[in-house]
Amino acid sequence: MPLIAITRAVSPSLAECELTHLARERIDVERASRQHLGYEAALRDLGVVVIRAEPAPDSPDAVFVEDTAIVLPELAVLTRPGAASRRSEVAAIGDVLAPYRNIVEMQAPATLDGGDVVRLGRTLYVGSSSRTNEAGIDALASFVEPHGYSVVAVSFSGCLHLKSAATAIGDSAVLINPSWVSVHAFGDAEVIEVDRSEPFAANALRIGQRLIHGAEYVATRERLEEWGADIVPVDCSELAKAEGAVTCCCLLVT
């Protein structure tokens, strides 16, 4: 089966998005939509099959589909997002995933956003955040541990989701902002630090042996290329005003 990316169109109500760590700025929804189309085009250029979930015009954050599910080879876990305004987004994503995975679903009092989950091999590192609570971490563990995964809670600060502070860029390598999460949080994984001038540059989307990365993070891109990464720069700067980034805008199904 080819690699599939589930996406969702930018909502016309994006400017009403949930914000936790950023001050609200004017968001140009048309520009954000153009950037999202460019992001989908980059995925297709990498051989990924892009499947769009049905639009959700009344859900400002719906473009950030990553938060609605954790997709593993063995199953898909539908989350219960920490922001109540986002819980209506989940069902449609479950409908798209159903042909490809057995589905399980979190229930109250659990809350968990997919943006808080970093996978390295058979370990899921889960950020304890304003969106992901202890019950959510425990619920995820109950679903995935029978399939041979371990779940490790990670403390971080300064950003909305763990994947704003660190993302997997290899089988055992992470791109990390050490000001927001400890460089020791991911066990023995190799660590590449972002440039200090680019605190939001730790979010990268791994597609095979290549990385989709924010086009504006030039200094960190140079570090990644020195490390040996093959970078596909994509402009998501308008979506970043809504606390979004490149991993947020798709769910990968292998």
Q: Which positions are catalytic?
A: 161, 248
Q: CB–CB of 35/16 below 8 Å? A: no
Amino acid letter, 218: V
Amino acid letter, 194: V
Q: Which residue has the tokens 């009344």?
A: 58
CA distance 73 to 207: 16
Q: Which of 55, 8, 34 is nearest to 250 (CA)?
A: 8
CA distance 153 to 155: 7
Strands 166-170 and 117-120: unpaired
Task: Retrieve residue 215's tokens.
Answer: 């086009």
Q: CB–CB of 154/164 below 8 Å? A: no
